[in-house]
Structure 1
């Protein structure tokens, strides 16, 4: 009831702050749920995909095996990056080892961008939501005190209610920020582990292709 009273008594600025917190909360929870599902599946897929790759008899067979496990296309771009670049282009210039380093690095950055998607939103919500809530509280208190002063009747009973309702905005800001911060930290650690696995695979893949072509 206090929240509805606060929203009903608030002016345009107060309602805007409340709606902004609502949008931030919905957006952060959508990202949290989506990333929890994505990273949980990605952690298993990366392990199964790399294991299937090393069990294959050839690079072509390895790619087919990886495609069967890599549902979010995290390992496959690294495998595809090892294909020879078109002749006559700058991408094909230089030593083959340098080419592989460049294309694998670019492919790895693309994969990591996919894993990192949404982290900026969570960080932004986690760092700004408390201040947005505080702004709503300050403005709500000012609005309430102005209304009480205009009525000409100032007492602790009349001040406590509106001020207490305005403080709900601070609590709302913290309620929006805390899940976003926790999600950012937890997902950051999970992404770090997956990134380490992908970097190790890219390094081993580069060595494999270089030695395979030198022995051919």
Structure 2
């Protein structure tokens, strides 16, 4: 019995020790969560403690980021529609018995229908008083070139904003960095000593501005390069269609 009592007492002591360790670990985790939630140098603290210049810089970066993602999504949808229209024109327009019949087979908002209508109109209105001195080849070519340039201009819309954001966002973030460092130096000058609690906030503000500036600029640059490459492929489809239509209108086989 004595031996069993000793074992029982040892088990009770071990269980008590484990429970104490568990409570200590739980308390440590709770304290760690409290520290992470109440971070005085995070983004919320930057907005709460920042002055008008810091808040304005942050708002500008947010607007740049929102505009970048909006334009990227819109341009991707627009390019996807143009690629779909190119496939539709290849399947329907060139299998029609005439240009007029092919135009009717395309959707009204199709870029390729717009080019076909402009070319068909130029071919059938040539020879008027003002256009009599221009040969048919040049007249149709100019009309198709104008239509192609119009579509190309629509595809290019918005890309200038991405290029601007990609080139200026790092400097806007750098301005926020300089402003944060200025605050740190001011705090040191007022306090008369470089204690960590005096400089941690402004330096953290500076680092956050730098990070946000880079986070805004990198997607803008990558999106610009990707969209420009896709635009080139889309315009190639449009120019190929325009060139074939030019030959058809001159030949009169599908007029």
- Would you call these one fold, judging by a TM-score over 0.5? yes
Describe the superposition over 1:3-56 as per-residue Cα deviations: whole angstroms up to 9, x where unpaired.
121222222222111111011111111101111222122212212123311010
State the shift of 1:103 in Å: 0.7
Change (3 A) 1:43 1:118: same
How many residues are paired up? Answer: 211
RMSD over equivalenced CA pairs, Å:
2.0
Q: 1:98 corresponds to which residue?
A: 138
- Alignment gaps of 5+ in structure 1: none
Q: 1:26 corresponds to which residue?
A: 66
Residues 184 and 198 of structure 2 are in contact (CA less than 8 Å); yes or no, is this contact kept in structure 1? no
**3-state SS of paired residue (1:89):** coil
Does structure 1 residue 88 correspond to structure 2 residue 129? Answer: yes
Higher-Rg member (1/2): 2
Taking the aligned partners of 1:78 and 1:134, their CA distance within structure 2 comes to 47
Q: Of residues 116, 134, 145 in structure 1, which corresponds to 2:174? A: 134
Q: 2:162 corresponds to which residue?
A: 122
Taking the aligned partners of 1:158 and 1:101, their CA distance within structure 2 comes to 70
Q: 2:243 corresponds to which residue?
A: 203
Does structure 1 residue 153 correspond to structure 2 residue 190? Answer: no
Q: 2:92 corresponds to which residue?
A: 52
- Alignment gaps of 5+ in structure 2: 1-38
Q: 2:36 corresponds to which residue?
A: none
Between 196-205 and 10-19, report the one with greater CA deviation. Answer: 10-19
Taking the aligned partners of 1:7 and 1:148, their CA distance within structure 2 comes to 21
Does structure 1 residue 76 correspond to structure 2 residue 83? Answer: no
Change (3 A) 1:55 1:166: same
Change (3 A) 1:146 1:93: farther
Does structure 1 residue 15 correspond to structure 2 residue 55? Answer: yes
TM-score of the pair, normalised by structure 2? 0.77
Structure of greater relative contact order (alpha carbons < 8 Å, 6+ residues apart): 1
Between 9-18 and 185-194, report the one with greater CA deviation. Answer: 9-18
Q: 2:152 corresponds to which residue?
A: 112
Runs of 4+ off more than 6 Å: none
Does structure 1 residue 183 correspond to structure 2 residue 223? Answer: yes
Taking the aligned partners of 1:106 and 1:167, their CA distance within structure 2 comes to 50
